[in-house]
């Protein structure tokens, strides 16, 4: 009898092993967030000022979204992106992610993923912060101090501060860490969240700029400084990561998603579809919220598709969870809606409108609160714009001048705003702190100092 039971147990174990071997491995996920990078910066979108061949190719072999919108500033967008929730429901103040929140890092780690974040943090909570929000390891700038991010940067790597002094380039260091992470974790499902340090001001020289070793911070040619070089280098670093995934034979099992965190730096001039535009970061116009978005997963996502569906930062968490078969806990009550079906080339459940509550300081009321679709935008103060034609919002529409389509759109957006009436959650209102800088420089701007916060210095 014992021999029979042992044989049965052995057969059951072999059956389970065989079943496991036949189960497809969950896909890896790489989410890339580019700092201060508006829709007009990508050539595939119609941009004419910069070189983005890697992103163009990912768009040509994947899905490019023409109507992805985020918050006008980096911290508000990051809070939405990481939690899948509107700022109205969980935002406290600039530079902070409340510890009560759950992020996509938490959800994927709980599901067994190896998790890593490299790049820019700017969400406080000191050195333990990334771990609290679900990341096994990190290589970050602006975790518990704000030194320089570009040449000779100061970074935090897995609980220690590192300061560099031999002309090292910060974006290269975090890029190399990302590549090392995917190389080490190639045999297990991994989640890499890569909020890049580029292309935020100061518009400094990159290692590919002829004057990298001699240019001072913030110096460059013309109104854009080294911004074109920074865009090209951003694209190059994305290409390095994609090439590593291909080299490791991971590309066909890796979801790649790319977006910007807000509009291009305020006032930065660019050419876009034959016209001049300027960066609108910190403003609630489309040039402050409209960002590039690309999804690519060979053999799984559509190839060469352009989607006009509305998506926003809150939608990335549920999309990632659906792609990895991870259930979003109902108690989180997220605002996001998965667009995985659209990435697959299917209809899905496209949004009729997007909603934004924006105040860098947090607080009881918004600095700007509005709902919009691709054609029209309605603010809670009653201003109504035909944003498809009036993208700078210079001419509010009067009710007496509305045609039938505009009247229908306004009624739709009024109904959308009505859903968000009432006070904000009291807890988040009480955490409010004053915003420490101008909206155009998101409180960090050109004031990065290498002399501040150099505790526990580690020699490289």
Residue 34 has pLDDT above 70, yes or no: yes
The answer to whether the beta carbons of residues 450 and 148 sit under 8 Å apart is yes
pLDDT at 442: 54
User: Options 3.10.580.10, 3.40.720.10, 3.10.180.10, 1.10.3210.10; which CATH number does 26-351 get?
Assistant: 3.40.720.10
**361 contacts: CB under 8 Å, gap ≥ 6:** 93, 94, 367, 432, 433, 434, 435
Distance between the two ends of the chain, CA-based, in angstroms?
Answer: 65
Q: What are phi and psi of 298, to 5 degrees?
A: -55, 130
Cα 307 to the chain's mean position, in Å? Answer: 18
pLDDT at 224: 83
Residue 407 has pLDDT above 50, yes or no: yes
Q: What are phi and psi of 277, to 5 degrees?
A: -130, 160
Dist. CA 376–CA 54, nearest whole Å: 32
24 band by pLDDT with thresholds 50, 70 and 90: confident
437 band by pLDDT with thresholds 50, 70 and 90: low
DSSP string for 83-146: HSS-HHHH--STT---TT---HHHHHHHTT-EEEEEEE--S-STTTHHHHTT-SEEEEESSS--
10 band by pLDDT with thresholds 50, 70 and 90: very low
Q: What are phi and psi of 163, to 5 degrees?
A: -120, 135
Closest CA to 279 of 37, 28, 9: 37
> What digits encode the pLDDT tens for the residues 244-295?
999 999 999 999 999 999 999 999 999 999 999 999 999 999 999 999 999 9
Residue 239 has pLDDT above 90, yes or no: yes
Specify whether the backbone of 379 is left (phi greater than 0), alpha (psi in -120 to 50) or beta.
Answer: beta
Average pLDDT over residues 346-370: 97
> What digits encode the pLDDT tens for the residues 201-235?
999 999 999 999 998 886 655 668 899 999 999 99
How would you label 183-206 residue by residue, b for 16+ Cβ within 10 Å and e otherwise? eebeeebbbbbbbbbbbbbbbbbb
Place of tokens 């300061």: 163
Average pLDDT over residues 308-328: 98
Residue 1 has pLDDT above 70, yes or no: no
pLDDT at 459: 35
The answer to whether the beta carbons of residues 229 and 207 sit under 8 Å apart is no
- Paired with 296 in beta bridges are 256
Closest CA to 103 of 126, 63, 131: 131
Domain ranges of the chain: 26-351, 365-422
pLDDT at 216: 84
């Amino acid at each position: 009898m014992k021999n029979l039971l042992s044989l049965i147990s052995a057969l059951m174990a072999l059956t389970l092993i065989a079943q496991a071997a036949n189960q497809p491995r969950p896909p890896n996920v790489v989410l890339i967030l580019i700092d201060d990078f508006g829709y007009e910066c990508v050539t595939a979108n119609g941009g004419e000022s910069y070189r983005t061949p890697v992103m163009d190719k990912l768009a040509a072999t994947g899905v490019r979204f023409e109507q992805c919108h985020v918050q006008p500033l980096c911290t508000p967008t990051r809070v939405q992106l990481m939690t899948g929730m509107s700022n109205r429901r969980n935002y406290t103040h600039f530079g902070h992610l409340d510890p009560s929140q759950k992020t996509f890092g938490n959800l994927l780690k709980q599901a067994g993923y190896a998790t890593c974040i490299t790049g820019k943090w700017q969400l406080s909570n000191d050195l333990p912060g990334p771990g609290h929000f679900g990341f096994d390891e990190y290589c970050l700038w602006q975790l518990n101090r704000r030194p320089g991010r570009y040449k000779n940067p100061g970074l935090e790597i897995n609980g220690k501060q590192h300061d560099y002094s031999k002309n090292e380039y910060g974006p290269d260091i975090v890029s190399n860490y990302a590549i090392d992470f995917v190389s080490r974790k190639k045999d297990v499902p991994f989640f890499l969240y890569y909020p890049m340090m580029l292309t935020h001001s100061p518009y400094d020289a990159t290692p590919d700029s002829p004057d990298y070793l001699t240019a001072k911070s913030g110096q460059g040619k013309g109104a854009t400084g080294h911004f074109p070089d920074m865009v090209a280098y951003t694209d190059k670093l994305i290409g390095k990561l994609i090439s590593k995934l291909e080299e490791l034979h991971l590309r066909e099992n890796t979801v790649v998603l790319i977006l910007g965190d807000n509009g291009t730096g305020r006032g930065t001039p660019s050419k876009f579809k034959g016209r001049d535009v300027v960066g609108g970061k910190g403003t609630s116009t489309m040039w402050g919220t409209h960002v590039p978005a690309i999804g690519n997963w060979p053999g799984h996502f559509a190839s060469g598709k352009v989607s006009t569906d509305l998506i926003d930062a809150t939608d990335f968490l549920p999309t990632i969870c659906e792609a990895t078969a991870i259930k979003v806990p109902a108690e989180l009550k997220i605002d996001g809606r998965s667009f995985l079906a659209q990435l697959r080339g299917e209809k899905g459940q496209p949004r009729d409108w997007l909603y934004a509550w924006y105040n860098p300081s947090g607080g009881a009321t918004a600095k700007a609160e509005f709902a919009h679709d691709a054609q029209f935008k309605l603010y809670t103060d009653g201003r109504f714009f035909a944003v498809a034609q009036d993208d700078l919002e210079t001419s509010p529409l009067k009710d007496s001048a509305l045609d039938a389509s505009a009247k229908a759109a306004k009624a739709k957006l009024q109904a959308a705003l009505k859903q968000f009436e009432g006070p904000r959650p009291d807890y988040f209102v009480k955490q409010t702190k004053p915003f420490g800088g101008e909206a155009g420089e998101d409180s960090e701007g050109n004031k990065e100092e290498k002399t501040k916060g150099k505790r526990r210095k580690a020699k490289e």
